[in-house]
Amino acid sequence: MLEQLRGSTRAQETRRIARILEIIQLISDRPRHWKRKMLADKFEISERQIQKDLSVIRHGLRLPLENDGDGYYFTRLPGLPTVSYTFNEALALLLAARMAQAIPGVNSAELAAAIARLEALFPEEFLPLLRQSADRLPRSAKAPHRQEMLTLLHRALAERRRVRIIYAIGAKEGEESERVVEPYHIMPYVRSWQLIAYCHKKQAVLMFKIDRIRQAELLDETYTIPSDFDIDEYLGDNWGIMRGAAREPEEVELIFDSVAGRWVAEEHWHKSQQVETLPDGSVRVRFYIGITPEFVNWLLYYGSRVRVVKPEWLREQVVEEHRRAAEVNAS
């Protein structure tokens, strides 16, 4: 029991350290944007705990954190010291990171970003040999192509280099399109990954499913991400990533039974999420979202364990979908 308590304490401390480092990164990236309540909402903890984290940054790490009323900022930007490796050390780290791709539970995005940075340490002439050596290592049988694409795209993002891709168009079976893109953001979604990038062909910021990228080539052309690009603003108030299929944002209220409510309350589904446990153990969840087919399917998954309070049209649609399902399965 004592060892379990120690393990739990260590896990909590690790999570807190990771949160503090992420707060530093957020404030560094967007000075005078983040306020205490915004940080508390993002990490789903109390403002009091955020204040403690900010005190650690100020007094424990001694970073010059200020707030003039518009939001937190650093008078001197913190940065990690430059780390240098010998050739053998860098090679050992790169091969170890490649081997880790075969281990379940390792964060794919962070690992791909680390591999991209390690590869960037070597001269271009060495890369074919390094990749040939990596090909002999154990690899994930599930998605080796995905790992390869994630590594290349994270490297492009880190070095701000354009990428030429061959992309399979989802709506047209077998049709492919060549694009030159500038990666802005890479994010996991459900069981896949999405690349948000400026597309020169469409002259717009678009979302690409990484599993549909058949080929990718790093170019020598560089780019800059616009200073006003914000991933939360890009995704908007929609539920999920089906931007074109969303209705106008509206208030949604759901009541989950006690069992499903615990499952739902444990996850962060949307930035507008509000959760309240009711006296009978059921859970009220509120969102302000643009409802998409993804959201309707999410509701249908919970079946009789969820009741739609509002909007009324959504309740009627869920009832109709369940009625059709009952007819299909009764025949």
Domain ranges for the chain: 2-74, 87-234, 236-330
Q: How confident is the model at residue 127 (pLDDT cuts 50, 70, 90)?
A: low
**Mean per-residue pLDDT of the chain:** 78
At 193 the three-state DSSP class reads strand
In the chain the beta strands, taken as DSSP E runs, fall at: 65-67, 72-74, 161-168, 176-189, 192-199, 204-209, 213-222, 250-256, 274-277, 283-289, 306-310
The helix (H) or strand (E) run that includes residue 285 is strand 283-289
Q: Rounded to an integer, what distance in angstroms lies between the CA atom of residue 238 and that of residue 291?
A: 6
The predicted model scores a pTM of 0.48
252, pLDDT greater than 70: yes
Residue 110: the pLDDT is 61
Residue 20: the pLDDT is 84
Q: Rounded to an integer, what distance in angstroms lies between the CA atom of residue 178 and that of residue 194?
A: 17
Decide yes or no: CATH 1.10.10.10 for domain 2-74: yes
Count of other CB atoms within 10 angstroms of residue 269 = 16
pLDDT, tens only, 157-181: 878 899 999 998 865 566 889 999 9
- Hey, what amino acid is at 313? W
